[in-house]
Structure 1
């Protein structure tokens, strides 16, 4: 499984940036997203910034990765998933049951609709 890690830009240009996150600093390729200002959050995969993140999304991803690390180490992990505790899972709209016919779909059974 491949995971992206949120990092914060310290300094850089169109080609690369020094970024910090997950307890380390490293030079990241910025070729896919272009230069970002210091303080910007980016999602990094294999040394390349894949997309810009809002601060809240970066924090949620970092918490989820910390929770995964805690679970793998046998520690409690629930606090890392506070945004998911005490709520029902939500299906994406394209997976929810629907009573409306889909003219482009094969007639294989009931459609899913949004809850």
Structure 2
């Protein structure tokens, strides 16, 4: 299983960026997301950025990944606190799939 995690760019070069998540820093391939700047948030899979995130979205992803990490460590988790964007809302079908309902 591959889970994307948010990293923040600290330093950028052509097609790569030194990024940080907590105390961890690593070089991330940014070829798929185009030009970025220091301070940008990236959704990273296997050391490759797949999406540029808003700070708010990066926080949501971090909370969800943190919940998964705590559950896997056997810790108790209040999932409503970790997935606030999903609580009390109906699931939304992506726009590209809506025509298939007709």
Fold shared, TM-score > 0.5 on shorter chain: yes
Which protein has the larger Cα radius of gyration, Structure 1 or Structure 2? Answer: 1
Which aligned pairs between 1:7-22 and structure 2 lie closer than 5 A? Answer: 7-22=7-22
> Cα distance 1:75–1:29, how it changes in 2: closer, same or farther (>3 A)?
same
Please state if 1:80 is matched with 2:85. Answer: no
Mapped to 2, the partners of 1:74 and 1:88 lie a distance apart of 28
How far apart, in 1, do the equivalents of 2:91 and 2:48 lie?
A: 31
> Where does structure 2 lack aligned partners over 5 or more consecutive residues?
none
The corresponding residue for 1:31 is: 31
Identify, as 1 or 2, the structure richer in helix. Answer: 2
Q: What TM-score comes out, normalization by structure 1 length?
A: 0.72
Q: Provide structure 1 residue ranges, at least 5 long, that are not aligned to the other structure.
A: 103-115
Number of aligned residues: 96
Note closer, same or farther for the CA distance 1:70–1:59 as it changes in structure 2 (3 Å cut).
same
Moved over 3 A (4+): 82-85
Give the TM-score normalised by structure 2.
Answer: 0.80
